Amino acid sequence: MVYTTPSQPDLQTLDALVSRYVDVASIPWVDLPFPGVKGKILLTDGTGVRTALARMEPGSEIPYHEHTGLEQTYMLEGSLEDDDGVCVAGQYVWRLKGNRHTARSPNGCLMLVSFDSPNVYLSGQMEGMTMEEFISKNETVG
């Protein structure tokens, strides 16, 4: 398994067991395919394992999707909600494989999220796809 921080390729040249210190401030925010949602990938293996920062503008949402593995979220600022509850700054929520929901942020938020496999989106422009499939499709089209 090869773990990377995509925007910091110099970390790949380090010996295998050396700690990787990531300059998070230098990683650009990238628009995700959901209006008002941006992300910074901190760690990925290219198969769906991912740790990232996500920022949602007030009123934005991540459309209905299914978790294909464990998802963990620590809320840094603001709040995130779904039909099961609300996670506010300083709180943590995790979801098991099979959980389905729409994530909404009425007032905006900043969160640290970790996935052990990719979500499958069940509605919207990504219906039937994972984020990795969507990115791959759009890289080959563009």
Domains of the chain: 9-141 (2.60.120.10)
Rounded Cα distance, 123 and 88, in Å: 26
Rounded Cα distance, 23 and 34, in Å: 26
Q: What pLDDT digit, counting tens, does each position of 52-67 carry?
A: 999 999 999 999 999 9
**Which residues lie across from 74 on neighbouring strands?**
92, 112
Q: What pLDDT digit, counting tens, does each position of 18-73 carry?
A: 888 899 999 999 999 999 999 999 998 878 789 999 999 999 999 999 999 999 99
Is the entire prediction scored with pTM above 0.85? Answer: yes
Rounded Cα distance, 116 and 102, in Å: 19
φ, ψ of residue 51 to 5 degrees: the values are -120, 130
Rounded Cα distance, 61 and 107, in Å: 11
